[in-house]
Amino acid sequence: MMQEAYTLSMEIPTVEDYRRLRLVTGLSGKTEEAARLGLPNSWSAAVVRHRGRVVAMGRVIGDGGCFFQVCDMAVEPEHQGQGLGKRIFARLMEDLQARAPKSAYVSLIADGDAKHLYAKFGFEPVMPASIGMAIWIGERPSGGS
């Protein structure tokens, strides 16, 4: 597919696109209620469209000053390999560099080989000094983070 067929915009995905992209990319499912409540609280977000349809997304959440987390990086399987995840991540990082205070701590959970992309932007493992931990409210969903 030609790169020109894709458009990136800084916007929060719709509840429907968000839930669909998480499922088709193997991330854990989110209820409609959770998505409806959570998405408006995004600090920064980007989507990529192909022929008007959202095929990729990424978000940054956080308190706006001290702590931020990159989450919801997802590219539909049939559009992977086009550099879309890298474009989204680069744009989110540009936004963080431009707007977040200099002492901000930016974290993420890298699923699978995504760690290689994030390393290109300076992210590195925090172990052994720190270890990521999580708890799921209710039943643990299947899929990645």
Amino acid letter, residue 112:
G
Q: Which domains, and CATH codes, for the chain?
A: 3-119 (3.40.630.30)
Q: What is the pLDDT of residues 2-40, one digit of tens each?
A: 456 999 999 999 999 999 999 999 999 999 999 999 999
45 within 8 A of 59, measured Cβ to Cβ: yes
Q: What is the pLDDT of residues 31-63, one digit of tens each?
A: 999 999 999 999 999 999 999 999 999 999 999
Cα distances (Å, whole numbers) of residue 128 to 113, 124, 125, 131:
20, 12, 8, 7
Residue ranges in the chain assigned as alpha helix (H): 15-24, 32-38, 84-99, 114-119
What does pTM read for this prediction? 0.91
Distance between CA 71 and CA 49 in Å, rounded?
19
